[in-house]
Amino acid sequence: MDNSNIEQTVEWRLVEDIEQLRQYTEQWHKLVETSQANLFCSPQWIMNWIEIYWQPDWQLKTIMGFEGEKVIAIAPLYLQKSNKLIPINTLFPLGQGEPEESEVLSEFQDIVLEKKNELIYREIANQIQAINFEQFSCHSVLPSSNWHSILLHFKHATVKQEGKRYLIPNNKNYLNTLSKNNRAKWKRCKSKLQRSNAIFFWVNEEDYEIYWQQLILFHQKRWQKKGKKGAFFHPDVIKFHTQFRKSNNTKISLLLIDDEVAAIHYYLYDNTTLYFYQCGWDEAKFAHLSPSYALHIWSILHNPIQNYDFMIGNTNDAYKKAFTGQNKLDDTYVVNAKRSRVKCFISKLINKLYIC
């Protein structure tokens, strides 16, 4: 294949208007499907994020590649200016950079490409670096991602390990991948639950709202008891997921014990992967039966999709490691690229002094 022809046939456009971006959602969705990009790269996730979190002073800077009028590449990006004494323009992927207290954790985001080669990677890097920004920031980058290849063409990029992706690639012979202790724990749990009239099942979509509210109550009660805010503390997080559930990319698994809700798991999913997002369980009544542990094992064994993903955890996350067993785990990375290191350093220093 003549790579020079590929480069010549791609027309690059910078989209700076949200309504204009919205016009490409159908092609964007098709590109995600054909390239097998993950859910967090999709327009249903990102446009929902824009609807909930977008601020008037942010600037859309999305790069799109076209062959004729066909979208063959999309790098969903935007600029955010800090409110520091010396403001810094930071370039983020759309889906990242929202306030920490209301973040929804858009993990494994990537640039979506129909064609992958070094010429395309270099050209996208050039297009990104043509944007006027002081620093670039992106988290949860996978080594197999397009971002990882494109960032090799960035100047002054620093890559730091963030954690591990705790992925179970399929459920074939899953129990044999667990440690001896965890196989024994599941056997004990299953035996106790069978004696307690336990029922596991996937919730029908028409009943999601009922169990969604119960999940939030369980989750918040447990974490607030520990002196923490909990994942659903901020109303924007609830609003985001309430809206996102309309896209039909969510699932809920449930454990009932004597007809009472013992544990609820909330998942996101795409064509290949079920992403475990949050859980809630009745700690007061059923802690002795390890209901959330049991619901994880059942959900893995009855996963209707190829992969089961606990998403990112730290490098020694004992809880997630207990489920992933002998499966090989990918590292994940945080990437920062500072163009104006002196300005960024001075801005950070003055901000610290001002706070003190």
| Per-residue model confidence as pLDDT tens digits over 252-277 | 999 999 999 999 999 999 999 999 99
Q: Is 21 helix (H, G, I), strand (E, B) or coil?
A: helix
Topology annotation, domain 3-162+332-355: Aminopeptidase (3.40.630)
H or E element, residue 35: helix 25-35
pTM score > 0.85 for this model? Answer: yes
pLDDT < 50: residue spans in the chain = 1-6, 355-356
Is 151 in contact with 91 (CB distance < 8 Å)? no
Rounded Cα distance between 96 and 53, Å, is 10
* Mean predicted lDDT score pLDDT of the chain: 92
Rounded Cα distance between 201 and 251, Å, is 11
Residue 48's CB is within 10 A of a number of other CB atoms, namely 20
Topology annotation, domain 170-305: Aminopeptidase (3.40.630)
- pLDDT score for 341: 58
H or E element, residue 194: helix 180-194
Give the count of alpha carbons within 13 A of 314, CB side only. 4
H or E element, residue 73: strand 70-75
Establish whether domains 3-162+332-355 and 170-305 are of one fold: yes
Radius of gyration of the chain (CA): 22
pLDDT, tens digit (0-9, with 9 covering 90-100), for 3-37 = 444 455 899 999 999 999 999 999 999 999 999 99
The domain segmentation of the chain, as residue ranges, is: 3-162+332-355, 170-305
